[in-house]
Structure 1
Amino acid sequence: MKKLSALMGATALVACGTAALADGHEVERGRDGQLNIIYWQAPSTLNPYLSGGTKEVESASLVLESLGRFSDTGELLPWLAAEIPTVENGGVSEDLTSITWTLKDGVMWSDGTPLTANDAVFTWQYCTAEGGGCAQASYFDGVESVEAVDDQTIKITFDAPKPFPYTALVGAESPIIQAAQFADCMGAAAPTCVDANFGPIGTGPFVVTDFKANDVVQFSANENFRVDGQPAFETVLFKGGGDAAAAARSVLETGEFDYAWNLQIDPTVLSDMESAGLGTVVAAFATSVERLHLNQTNPSADLGDLRATAEGGAHPFLTNRTIGQAMSMAIDRGLLVEIGYGAGGQPTCNVLPGPAVYASTANDACLTQDVAGANALLDEAGIVDSDGDGIREFEGTPLIVSYQTSTNAVRQDTQALVKQWWSEIGIQAELRNIDASVFFGGDPASPDTFQKFFADVEMYTNNFAGVDPEAYMANWACKEWPSPESQWQGSNMQRFCDPAYDALIDELASTAGIDARAEIVKQMNDMLMASYSIIPLVHRGNPSAHANTLGGVKMSDWDSELWNIAEWYRTE
């Protein structure tokens, strides 16, 4: 392993905790030397409450921790807490207005002082202090109070029932900071506490030894970390700068670094780099889905002001589920991933592909392209090409669709392939791409926005923040149709409407417990999929790369990408 000695400052050796393996051998903390990480966007602070940037949140996550963290599958795990509070175990009140967390025994700050509930109370006060400009204030939305019941017990009370109470002090963006260190940094004073912001004391596996804003951070193993034998690395060099391609080369071709983040480059180029044999491209997947929306209203310009509105009437044929199903069956999602996304994509049949607990398996048939089956389905329904021009008709209307998306090379490649596959089942597509600033702009005067949807089919990606999909799944409520009355704002782009779906939205809003909520969410996803008003294509991920000599990496897109860095180790 290259040591990058030119970039290393003097770092102190740490006392090595030890742990016993199953074979009786002991492993030492810091046994694997230095870990070299490159984030080509360099962090400017190590206080995530002063920046919502990924680079700041993730670099800080080596030091600062929260009560619960989200794994690579989106599972909520106890971190500084002894267990995840639920209604069943008494940690969440029956009326859903409070949650009580119990800290693990013996957790120490890196300076050797104990973590207590008072630190959690202080963190809430810090982020909500007047004039503080806390970047993560939304995590404390609805929090009425945070109190220390005793040194180990934290009670968070909400101003209304909160079926998903795992926001405040949960995840990498809402960690606990040390009250003693930040006591004089409240409100407007927060950004002036340079020493604390650049070198926070934490409970995590590493401590900051040197910080150069917008350049490099050096860490060493935390001798007071609660897990014996972790972290395996004695020091970490966290380098910023350059670009995604250079970062990829530094792991995959030169071996100078062990881990490179956010490699959004041509998948063919990335694959060529990977073929050098020094590293592996990995991707973290959350909820981003590239999908097709099939307009359920009539977008014909002949309707004037009524086009794409409820008053203008239903679409001439895209409300027919057989047609939508055939359009979905004709698509080779695996090929779309191969040519456009590489390791950064997976075929999907769900508009909600994760977290895993919410992901339905009921729609997996779409993973296999079936052009012959699609043709047979349409034939059986009597939707045929009656005049021999290669285009089927439905009740006298030829199946010709206008298909729009934003201007983007990958999307135009996808359009071309989908057009070809649809032609093989007797559906003609007329392609159009629109500058992204216009397409996603929301200008109510423009006819080209994705909200107005003056086309038959449109394609884009959407997702949601966090891991609970309640607000996201409510996007398809009947009331969420964009319309002239709402200045064409709204989230239900394809104008889906089903009172049974709206009833599930209400049921989800009043249901506690992840398992119970998951069953409702799966029903909602499956109802949308059965409508064929949405056709999911690609579950989009965030590609990074790690050296083949680096073990234990489990990327998460639900939390810090580096959420389990304490478990990383050198394989050779």
Structure 2
Amino acid sequence: MTLRATLLAATLLAGPALAQDSITLGMVLEPPNLDPTGGAAAAIDEVVYANVFEGLTRFAADGSILPALAASWEVSEDGTSYTFTLREGVTFHDGTDFNADDVVFSLNRARAEDSTNAQKALFAGIESVEAVNPTTVKVTLGQADGAFPFKMAWGDAVMVGEESVADLATKPVGTGPFTFTEWVQGDRVTLTRNEAYWGEAPALATATFKFITDPNAAFAAMMAGDVDAFPNFPAQETLPQFEGNPQFKVIIGSTEGETILAMNNAEPPLDNVKVREAIAHAINRQDLIDGAMNGYGTPIGTHFAPHNPDYVDLTGLSEFDPERSRALLAEAGVSDLTLRLALPPPAYARRGGEIIAAQLRDVGIETEITNMEWAQWLEQVFKGRDFDLTIVSHTEPLDINIYARDDYYFQYADPDFKSMMTLLEGTTGPDARSEILKSAQEKIAGDFVNGYLFQLPKTGVANAKIEGLWENAPTQANDLTGVRWTQ
């Protein structure tokens, strides 16, 4: 017994030592590919943003914009050109040098006519990109854009090398502090510390992203220690069990994720604003938050984050009012309506879909629910626009401008709204920009473009000895650069 006790003690002591430089993170969704410049799924950035790939600028944990591959930049007096000074001694993971030519290639590729970049609009204002010398790049814009450093911080704007770009989807090569090691599809992605990194070396030597879709399995994996942290934990109803356990810590924050009941505005009867308004009034947001999110989440009445200083509370415009909903359907001449409701894998969508289906049924609208895997949802709903209703959280920061896109999946693209976004692009004064953003929120809320549900919370669980995980999510990322184990 003494020998067994000694061996057990040695094993327990050895466990933390082995974990000091490695971590396993749980994720609900597996990315469809690993190229943030060629895919729309948030799960891509959750793996590679700030870890494998870097941009000229980057988001900090508090949402501020920091220098990244650009050490600094200068703006012309008229605001139409940005001159970036690049860091020296930076190499891609394949050993090739990073320089101004790579910036020219990356930005021109992103804005090209045949670009597959999911956020191509970020680059629409660029007129030219010039390599002044190996460490200096000049970007000329068609008009002043005070938000350009913000746009360059998105995962879609990371720098890539022409030598490796063809295989980024399965073999990502960036400049970041971690290199890609392997992707076991259906299971995990593993990253390894980049020993040639230009910046401060991360404390972690390896990081594994484990894909666990089922909330019950996520809970079991955390309790068993199969994963060390789950930054976006899908089983909020079990959080009290972690809060009472000193081995864990629960990390509650906010995200940029506006969770919406998206409607296909181009297809009848949803092309009728009265029908869209009727749907909005049929939804009891608090019941949805309680039932699908275990009480976590902030009600929203437009596509804007409540923590943003320019947010306008418009929840009253689409308050729960089933009698109003029935009256609007009658005014629209709509009866015996059945709509297709496409639900992607996240728990908020699957659980929320069942609740919303019941609420719509109460006002006379039936739904045909289809549960889709993420790849199917991206292909049929996001790309194909073949749907009536869907539930999804838009996690990109300050993304109200998506409503101005002609080919966006909910097919709104109102001319007056597009004019607002054009005006916003050319406005640099903070007060003027604030007024435009407030008017834009009111416009889409008044047009009942979508059903605005709640701001997605960031409910994380981690081993109590881990520090450095983001509390809030200013962008869709699991930034590991500051993550470490404590003693």
Q: TM-score range by the shorter chain?
A: 0.5 to 0.7
Separation (CA, whole Å) in 1 of partners of 2:119 and 2:444: 33
Contact 1:169–1:176 (Cα < 8 Å) also in 2: no
CA deviation after TM superposition for structure 1 residue 549, in Å: 2.8
- Within the alignment, does 1:290 sit opposite 2:260 as a pair? yes
Provide the residue aligned with 2:5 in structure 1: none
Provide the residue aligned with 1:431 in structure 2: 365
Match of 1:63 among 28, 49, 52: 52
| 1:571–1:339 CA distance, 2 compared to 1 (3 A) | farther
Give unpaired runs (5+ residues) of structure 1.
9-30, 300-306, 379-390, 421-428, 443-447, 451-458, 483-488
| 1:331–1:93 CA distance, 2 compared to 1 (3 A) | same
The one-letter amino acid of 1:334's match is Q
- Within the alignment, does 1:570 sit opposite 2:466 as a pair? no
CA deviation after TM superposition for structure 1 residue 509, in Å: 4.9
Contact 2:258–2:395 (Cα < 8 Å) also in 1: no
Contact 1:110–1:223 (Cα < 8 Å) also in 2: no
- Within the alignment, does 1:33 sit opposite 2:17 as a pair? no
Separation (CA, whole Å) in 1 of partners of 2:46 and 2:38: 13
CA deviation after TM superposition for structure 1 residue 236, in Å: 2.2
- Within the alignment, does 1:537 sit opposite 2:467 as a pair? no
Contact 1:37–1:237 (Cα < 8 Å) also in 2: yes
Contact 1:71–1:556 (Cα < 8 Å) also in 2: no
Provide the residue aligned with 2:153 in structure 1: 170
Separation (CA, whole Å) in 2 of partners of 1:431 and 1:285: 31
Separation (CA, whole Å) in 1 of partners of 2:43 and 2:419: 40
Contact 1:292–1:535 (Cα < 8 Å) also in 2: yes
Contact 1:95–1:161 (Cα < 8 Å) also in 2: yes
CA deviation after TM superposition for structure 1 residue 155, in Å: 1.1
Separation (CA, whole Å) in 2 of partners of 1:149 and 1:236: 37
| 1:76–1:522 CA distance, 2 compared to 1 (3 A) | farther
> Which string of whole-angstrom CA distances, capped at 9 and with x for unpartnered residues, describes residues 346-367 of structure 1?
2323312238547424446689
CA deviation after TM superposition for structure 1 residue 219, in Å: 1.5
Provide the residue aligned with 2:177 in structure 1: 205
Provide the residue aligned with 2:411 in structure 1: 491
Separation (CA, whole Å) in 1 of partners of 2:357 and 2:69: 47
| 1:569–1:290 CA distance, 2 compared to 1 (3 A) | same
Match of 1:217 among 186, 190, 197: 190
Counterparts of 1:136-155 in structure 2, within 5 Å, are 138=120, 140=123, 143-155=126-138
- Within the alignment, does 1:257 sit opposite 2:241 as a pair? no
- Within the alignment, does 1:547 sit opposite 2:477 as a pair? no
Identity over aligned pairs, percent: 16
Provide the residue aligned with 2:346 in structure 1: none
Contact 1:284–1:542 (Cα < 8 Å) also in 2: yes
CA deviation after TM superposition for structure 1 residue 280, in Å: 2.9
Provide the residue aligned with 1:191 in structure 2: 167
Separation (CA, whole Å) in 2 of partners of 1:137 and 1:419: 36
| 1:113–1:534 CA distance, 2 compared to 1 (3 A) | closer
| 1:526–1:64 CA distance, 2 compared to 1 (3 A) | same
| 1:67–1:355 CA distance, 2 compared to 1 (3 A) | farther
> Which string of whole-angstrom CA distances, capped at 9 and with x for unpartnered residues, describes residues 526-549 of structure 1?
355467786633234576543333
Separation (CA, whole Å) in 1 of partners of 2:151 and 2:418: 28
Give unpaired runs (5+ residues) of structure 2.
1-10, 344-350
Separation (CA, whole Å) in 1 of partners of 2:117 and 2:412: 29
CA deviation after TM superposition for structure 1 residue 94, in Å: 2.5
The one-letter amino acid of 2:68's match is W
Separation (CA, whole Å) in 1 of partners of 2:154 and 2:12: 33
Contact 1:42–1:216 (Cα < 8 Å) also in 2: no
Provide the residue aligned with 1:346 in structure 2: 297
| 1:81–1:492 CA distance, 2 compared to 1 (3 A) | same
Separation (CA, whole Å) in 1 of partners of 2:255 and 2:75: 30
CA deviation after TM superposition for structure 1 residue 48, in Å: 4.5
Contact 1:128–1:134 (Cα < 8 Å) also in 2: no
| 1:289–1:220 CA distance, 2 compared to 1 (3 A) | closer
- Within the alignment, does 1:117 sit opposite 2:111 as a pair? no
- More relative contact order in 1 or in 2 (CA 8 Å, sep 6+)? 2
Separation (CA, whole Å) in 2 of partners of 1:244 and 1:282: 20
Contact 1:473–1:505 (Cα < 8 Å) also in 2: no
Separation (CA, whole Å) in 1 of partners of 2:36 and 2:231: 18
Separation (CA, whole Å) in 2 of partners of 1:490 and 1:49: 22
The one-letter amino acid of 1:537's match is L
CA deviation after TM superposition for structure 1 residue 415, in Å: 4.8
Contact 2:52–2:174 (Cα < 8 Å) also in 1: yes
Contact 2:130–2:139 (Cα < 8 Å) also in 1: yes
| 1:533–1:121 CA distance, 2 compared to 1 (3 A) | closer
Contact 1:69–1:170 (Cα < 8 Å) also in 2: yes
Separation (CA, whole Å) in 2 of partners of 1:336 and 1:541: 14
CA deviation after TM superposition for structure 1 residue 433, in Å: 0.9
Contact 2:257–2:396 (Cα < 8 Å) also in 1: no
- TM-score normalised to structure 2 length: 0.66
CA deviation after TM superposition for structure 1 residue 337, in Å: 0.5
**Structural RMSD (CA):** 5.7
Separation (CA, whole Å) in 1 of partners of 2:442 and 2:427: 19
Separation (CA, whole Å) in 2 of partners of 1:461 and 1:507: 30
Match of 2:442 among 483, 508, 526: 526
Separation (CA, whole Å) in 2 of partners of 1:460 and 1:46: 25
Structure whose CA Rg is larger: 1
Contact 2:257–2:455 (Cα < 8 Å) also in 1: yes
Separation (CA, whole Å) in 2 of partners of 1:128 and 1:514: 27
Separation (CA, whole Å) in 1 of partners of 2:476 and 2:331: 51
- TM-score normalised to structure 1 length: 0.58
| 1:470–1:161 CA distance, 2 compared to 1 (3 A) | farther
Provide the residue aligned with 2:348 in structure 1: none
The one-letter amino acid of 2:411's match is S
Provide the residue aligned with 1:471 in structure 2: 401
| Aligned-partner SS, 1:94 | coil
Separation (CA, whole Å) in 1 of partners of 2:313 and 2:174: 47
CA deviation after TM superposition for structure 1 residue 272, in Å: 7.2
Provide the residue aligned with 1:101 in structure 2: 84
| Aligned-partner SS, 2:452 | strand
Separation (CA, whole Å) in 2 of partners of 1:540 and 1:140: 27
> Which string of whole-angstrom CA distances, capped at 9 and with x for unpartnered residues, describes residues 444-492 of structure 1?
xxxx963xxxxxxxx65466685454633437xxxx8x9xxxxxx9734
| Aligned-partner SS, 2:297 | strand
Separation (CA, whole Å) in 1 of partners of 2:46 and 2:97: 24
The one-letter amino acid of 1:551's match is E
Contact 1:121–1:147 (Cα < 8 Å) also in 2: yes
Provide the residue aligned with 1:91 in structure 2: 75
| Aligned-partner SS, 1:59 | helix
Contact 1:38–1:259 (Cα < 8 Å) also in 2: yes
Q: How many aligned residue pairs are there?
A: 449
CA deviation after TM superposition for structure 1 residue 525, in Å: 1.2
Provide the residue aligned with 2:67 in structure 1: 78
Separation (CA, whole Å) in 2 of partners of 1:247 and 1:353: 32
